Amino acid sequence: EIVLTQSPATLSLSPGERATLSCRASQSISSYLAWYQQKPGQAPRLLIYDASNRATGIPARFSGSGSGTDFTLTISSLEPEDFAVYYCQQRSNWPPGYTFGQGTKLEIK
Amino acid sequence: QMQLQESGPGLVKPSETLSLTCTVSGGSISSGGYYWSWIRQHPGKGLEWMGYNYYSGSTHYNPSLKSRVTISVDTSKNQFSLKLSSVTAADTAVYYCASEGDRGAFDIWGQGTMVTVSS
C-alpha cells in the first residue's frame, strides 16, 4: 500500500501570506494525485486533480505541482476562508484503491 | 449537476450490520465511467477510503475492511449502498459517499452522516 505523508502537520500563517503544503508518497505514483480542503462540519472539497489541474470553480490562487513521490499545494495569497485542513490523495490502479495523507491544518497566526 | 445524499441509521449496536444508502440526483448511476465510493472519517481524524462499486459492477475494497464491507448499486433507485458487518465502537465515524469520474479524484461528495456504534 502506498503511504502519503503530509508536512507540516500544522502551518500557522497570516492572511496575504503564501502557503506551501507538502505531500510525499512512499513510492513513485502516477499523476493521480489530488488535493482537498475540509472545513469543520463539511465534506472535503476537491481543489486539485492530476497533481496540477484545478477543479471547477477553484480560485487561481490554488496551484498544485510535483511528480513521482513529491507533490506540493501552493496557496499564493491566503484569504480568511482558506484556513482549513488540507488532504492529499492518490489512486492506485493495481491493486485498485485510494489512500489519503493524514492532513495539514492551516491555521491563522 | 450531480449530487449525492447519504441516509441511514445514526446509531448501530455492536456486532450488528451498519447499512447506509447514497441517493444520486442530477445524473444516472448507470452512466459510464463512475466509481461509487464510501469514505469514512473517525472523529477528529483523517479520511479512510472503504471501497467502490464501478458502474460496470466490479467492486474493490480497502484490504483492512475487505471481509466486512459490501458496496452495491441499485440502478432502479439510482442509489448505491454500504453494508459493514460486525461493527464495534471503532467503526464510529462520519460516513461519506463520493464519486470519482476517472480523474483519480473524488469530485462529488455527500454531506456526510454520523454513525455511532453503541449499545
- Sheet with strand B18-25: strands edge to edge: B3-7, B18-25, B79-84, B69-74
pLDDT for the residue A72: 98
A100 touches chain B (CB under 8 A): yes
* CB atoms A100 and B47 under 8 Å: yes
With a cut of 90, say whether residue B31 has pLDDT above it.
Answer: no
pLDDT for the residue B55: 75
With a cut of 80, say whether residue B56 has pLDDT above it.
Answer: no
Which residues in chain B have their CB less than 8 angstroms from residue A103's CB? 46
* CB atoms B105 and A55 under 8 Å: yes
Q: Which of A34, A44, A87 sits opposite B104 (nearest CB)?
A: A34
Count of all residues that appear for chain B in the document: 119
For B62-103, what is each residue's pLDDT tens digit?
A: 999 979 999 999 999 999 999 999 999 999 999 999 999 878
Cis? peptide before B43, omega within 30° of 0: no
Identify residue B45 by its one-letter amino acid code. Answer: K
Locate A12 and state its grid cell. 500557522
A102 touches chain B (CB under 8 A): yes
CB pairs under 8 A between A and B: 64
pLDDT for the residue A95: 83
A40 touches chain B (CB under 8 A): no
* CB atoms B106 and A34 under 8 Å: yes
* CB atoms A1 and B96 under 8 Å: no
pLDDT for the residue A96: 86
| DSSP 8-class letter at A78 | -
Provide the percentage of residues in chain B whose pLDDT is more than 90: 87
- Angstrom distance (rounded) from CA B60 to CA B70: 9
- Angstrom distance (rounded) from CA B36 to CA A103: 23
* Torsion sign, CA atoms A57, A25, B113, B85: positive
pLDDT for the residue B25: 96
pLDDT for the residue A30: 77
For B94-105, what is each residue's pLDDT tens digit?
A: 999 999 987 889
Which residues in chain B have their CB less than 8 angstroms from residue A89's CB? 47, 105-106
Which residues in chain A have their CB less than 8 angstroms from residue B103's CB? 32, 34, 49-50
Each residue's pLDDT tens digit in chain A (109 positions)? 899 999 999 999 999 999 999 999 999 997 789 999 999 999 999 999 999 999 999 999 999 999 999 999 999 999 999 999 999 999 988 888 999 999 999 999 9
CA nearest to A70, candidates A28, A37, A35: A28
* CB atoms A98 and B37 under 8 Å: yes
Interface test with B, best of A98, A100, A104 (most B CBs within 10 A): A98
DSSP string, chain B: --EEEEES-SEE-TTS-EEEEEEEESS-TTSTT-EEEEEEE-TTS-EEEEEEEETTS-EEE-TTTTTTEEEEEETTTTEEEEEE-S--GGG-EEEEEEEE-SSSSEEEE---EEEEE--
Identify residue B2 by its one-letter amino acid code. Answer: M
DSSP string, A9-77: SEEEE-TTS-EEEEEEEEEEE-S-EEEEEE-TTS--EEEEETTTEEPTT--TTEEEEEEEEEEEEEESS
Q: Which of B46, B100, B110 sits opposite A100 (nearest CB)?
A: B46
- Angstrom distance (rounded) from CA B28 to CA A47: 24
Q: Which of A43, A55, A102 sits opposite B96 (nearest CB)?
A: A43
